[in-house]
A and B are shown apart, each in its own frame.
Chain A
């Protein structure tokens, strides 16, 4: 029944179409075709420009791909930068070790009967060239005085101290990091040593001592790469000391001063929202 109705409908449309075409002239038909063409062109143009259309979608996909590529490039650049920094650190360590060796050789030579009258090289650290005991970098930090002439390079002391830190020997690590800062206050490892000394105190729950050392990282070593972390850690310490105001202040400092430290920023935001609850 439905089929019959459909066939009848198609028939009527055909008859109507034939009648119409008989009425319309050739020029009318060509005009109509031209209008149809222009309309379809407009429709396609609109489709291309509208954001929800397929063309827009493909543009968006292109943009996303480009963005992904850029992200990848940035990541690769970061990777290269990290590697270069790492190499630089290694080179600095080597230079300091060699300087320390040269210095000790020079002094040994100077003390000997036929040694040269002047030292061969001056090490970068004050401690190495000035045997008089330097005061501890941070007040209240006990440092056991060793022999006036440093026998180990800052690199060696640092790695031993860090190794002790990683094995949970925080008391020993505190002593070793402190000794590095005392002997080589100008070493490029000094700021890191103070930071890890602070970390050791933090892990031992010596919070006031840790605060003093984090402050030293922030204020004494202006270019320290651990500065942002020191602010965050200060926030953590103040949380442990139940000083909400100062904890909030330090987390905010992380956000204000180090907008590029994404991980720390997110952690600080999380802590701030927790403290607001």
Chain B
């Protein structure tokens, strides 16, 4: 505590000048408002520091960040994502925060296994904002409509998942489906691979998933489509493009879908009634648990920042200040600071409380999250999406899809 205080005093008294930090994030309008509140609160506590906000939606964010990186002009503090941390860190664009730990930046209260995902070769390039888990979100009302019981998620297998979803489509009126396609996001494949003791990427930055696992994954997707567990491909493509808001769960047209826990409030809000979180199928038959706590997003600082000390101070405040936690609640995942996670739990909205309880329940069963994926991971996601579509429209067999994914993804991260 004394160290932190002197560090703050030093920077404020040093040259007596006003320090301005640029900060960028992506998100929705509600996040923009929350973050502005965060900035105001921080500035009130740190009179010497002014924060200049820059915010956009997800897609524009990365175009913009890459372009400003080309001009050596990335913001002092930025929101980062698992897929992109190493793109920047490996090219020396991010500040190694180790120098400021534990003096300015206190990581002692942060969830250790998740915090480790911000590190590359011992250097700390990013601090997680909070935790998330990829789960099967389920609509109990549609199960009820079909006269079916919710599955037991502690025992259900992948076969059971497809059977259940196919039956749901059959037992409900037309236009209602068992599940939304689960093959568009790489995390589904990651969970599937981890259950078999593999991982999407290995520690040598190569693909860590075997041909057999890839082919089995694509077979599963194909089966889900062919057995009409999900809508027909063209509708699937449209639904996918609509994001969370237009998803089957949000529009009461599907009983299941794979989503991040921090998307539950949006899903619940649109669905208009309580949804249920389930574990991934296959967890009990698996070699090791496939599900994991994922850093929802990260805070990182620019290696070219003129005020690295202040940037670290700001990040420290964002993850450790009770005030910050109170403002953000679960917007950037459930707080990474475990004490604060407890403290705000009563203030959370119902769906977030539900997520928090779910994460607590499954937490004991989980293995450590995967390390940061290699540069090119963003492209691997694009490749998977494209191959998934080829597969759905019958342009590739499962084996061909596996082969193409391996070829293209290997080239992307090579």
- Asked if A pairs with B, the answer is no
